[in-house]
Amino acid sequence: MSYIRTITGALVASASMGQIALAQPVSFERLRALGDSLTIGTQGGMISDERNQPRSWPAILARQMGTTLYLPLLEEMTLIGNQRRVDYPDYQYAHVMAFNGVSVDDTYMKTCEELPWYVFGWDWNHINLVLAPRWGESLLSAVVSDNPTFVVGYLGANDYMNKVMAKGTVMENIPFVEEVEPLDGSGMRPQDLFLRDYEVVIHALYQPGRGICFGTMPVLPDVPGLLSKQQLTDFIGPNPMPDGCYTDYIIAAAIYTGLLPEWTPEMLTDDRNYYTPAEIQYINDQIAGYNNTIRSLAADPNHPFAVAESPIQMPEITSGAFRVNGWRINAEVFVNNLGKPRASIMSTDTVHMSDIGHALTAMAFIRAINAFYGTSIPEPTESELTAILNNDRFVDNDGDGRIEGLSCNAFYLSMNLVYGDALTGDSGEVPRNAKVLTIGYVNGLWGSVTTDVEGPEYFEGRTVQLTATPVDGRTFDHWEGDVPGGVSTDNPLTITMDADKSVVAVFKCGGAGAALPLATVLMLLTFARLAGRFVKTKTRPARRPG
């Protein structure tokens, strides 16, 4: 566990950044959760049911706290999309008051309606299922009426997400669905209304002695549902989207499948199907404003509470430097694992979390709560995280090149979007479209080579930057092999992986002329060791008999 603590130590700092620890005893006896789809445990689109809810971050958090958290377990969705509670008709009061699509004002404005007896508990409306039998109550009033000792949750994502992650022109020309939702930031919740709604929630929840912790939201393009030009090219191939712009997973998936004639890369000549840098900046400014509202409310001495920063935003996650027992954990979805143990914290819909994502979210909440309230909730151990990875359906944990997690946000998301072989769905250890880079050395003891993109397998056409770093007293001389012109002195060197390639780095003594061949260096070192052994043998005193 020490390794995980070291790697993700920044979580502690960011979770309590700008906050002073509150010297106040709190209890986890009556833990309650309030929020949206990120809190109810939704995965792969709209799916929140008994298959994934027990693996959600509130359930993990409650387990680490050693307390009871009764989940409103939902049965699997029918073909027409309705569900009911597993405990129908003998409803118990649930402790997680959350459902899909909730904006902040929905928590206190939408109320639960009693279902007619003749529908036998089946319904499409999650609030009626989650809050049953609290007829007439809202999510917020249901939490308050339970007089909780601690409240956690995510709120705010739907104040911008359903506007940001739009559908562009994908639905255009489909019968009865003529809606066009351009990819831009129009329609996001105004800052003053977001502040008003969040204040309503906090004022209703806060009382001395009650603990509260809410999470922040990630800015773009760290939400993995957005694809850069390079990521989109890796996914669908060459495309006309302008450099510096982004599109979202719905547009990319539509082009990938090509099920309709208009679903082609030419869609990306229409600016309604991509975000410009200016639009990304505007969206980020709005999200930053929402998060600053949450942090400022948390810092108000009249109602202080802990804030857990989104794990999607952590540098270790965005850079791919985070590891669990050899697994590289990041927020990418639409990439090929190229035979490496890689896992995304997001499910295939790219806006909801995978099982390992829920575990890391629980860790972020644990660290924020411990730092703010002075508690000592234990974190999941590395073996526990590994067990989650080994059973995560949104992770290729069996190495067959497929992700088995369910998707229903759009029917084409249940297809194999992540790996290279669309025919068989099996990439093998090295996918068929991968190109392998081999790095060799002359005088390799005198320096090393690093790449800007993890290898040695790369997508065909991917550019890779190689940097040669000599040790003290040595210098880099040149590159040989599959480099432009056969020899290059550029350092760093950029190559394009349009085929399997072998590149050799040549080092030499600093300013001393030609480099010694590696074989000569090894021969001299071997001779020196042998000579040392010979001298020691000749001068060693004779052993006494017995």
* Cross-strand bridge partners of residue 214: 153, 307
Q: What is the pLDDT of residue 176?
A: 67
The structure tokens 């890391």 sit at 360
Work out the average pLDDT over 50-62.
Answer: 95
Going from the C-alpha of 103 to that of each of 34, 98, 449, the distances in angstroms are 11, 11, 49
What is the chain's mean pLDDT, rounded?
Answer: 81
**451 C-beta neighbours (distance < 10 Å), count:** 16
Q: What is the pLDDT of residue 543?
A: 35
Band of residue 227 on the pLDDT scale cut at 50, 70, 90:
confident
Packing angle between helix 355-373 and helix 382-390, nearest 10 degrees?
A: 150
> 93-118 pLDDT, tens per residue?
999 999 988 999 999 999 999 999 99
pLDDT > 90: what percent of the chain? Answer: 48
Q: What is the pLDDT of residue 535?
A: 33
Band of residue 538 on the pLDDT scale cut at 50, 70, 90:
very low
250 pLDDT above the threshold of 50: yes
123 pLDDT above the threshold of 90: yes
- All structural domains of the chain, each given as residue ranges with its CATH number in brackets, are 2-392 (3.40.50.1110), 434-531 (2.60.40)
Q: 444: buried, middle or exposed (CB in 10 Å: 19+, 13-18, 0-12)?
A: middle
322 pLDDT above the threshold of 60: yes
**333 C-beta neighbours (distance < 10 Å), count:** 24
Q: What is the pLDDT of residue 7?
A: 31
Query: Nearest Cα to 168, choosing from 291, 9, 293, 279?
Result: 279
Q: What is the pLDDT of residue 295?
A: 96
Q: Which residue has the higher pLDDT, 235 or 248?
A: 248
Q: What is the pLDDT of residue 221?
A: 63
Q: What is the pLDDT of residue 349?
A: 77
Query: Nearest Cα to 501, choosing from 455, 470, 469, 450?
Result: 455
Q: What is the pLDDT of residue 407?
A: 64
Work out the average pLDDT over 528-541.
Answer: 36
Q: What is the pLDDT of residue 32?
A: 98
Packing angle between helix 229-236 and helix 249-257, nearest 10 degrees?
A: 30
Band of residue 527 on the pLDDT scale cut at 50, 70, 90:
very low
414 pLDDT above the threshold of 50: no
Q: Which residue has the higher pLDDT, 308 or 182?
A: 308
Q: What is the pLDDT of residue 452?
A: 87
Half-sphere exposure of 536 (CA within 13 A, CB side): 6
Q: What is the pLDDT of residue 399?
A: 60
Strands 31-35 and 96-98: parallel
> 348-395 pLDDT, tens per residue?
777 888 999 999 999 999 999 999 999 999 999 999 998 999 888 888
Output DSSP code: residue 355: H
Band of residue 224 on the pLDDT scale cut at 50, 70, 90:
low
Going from the C-alpha of 163 to that of each of 188, 222, 269, 306, the distances in angstroms are 6, 16, 21, 28
179 pLDDT above the threshold of 60: yes
Work out the average pLDDT over 285-303.
Answer: 95
Band of residue 47 on the pLDDT scale cut at 50, 70, 90:
confident
Work out the average pLDDT over 286-300.
Answer: 95
Band of residue 162 on the pLDDT scale cut at 50, 70, 90:
confident
Work out the average pLDDT over 253-270.
Answer: 87
Q: Is 162 helix (H, G, I), strand (E, B) or coil?
A: helix
77 pLDDT above the threshold of 60: yes
**519 C-beta neighbours (distance < 10 Å), count:** 9
> 141-156 pLDDT, tens per residue?
999 999 999 999 999 9
Torsion angle of C-alpha atoms 6, 367, 360, 143, degrees rounded to 10: 180
> 431-485 pLDDT, tens per residue?
445 677 889 898 878 899 999 887 777 767 788 999 999 998 899 999 999 998 8
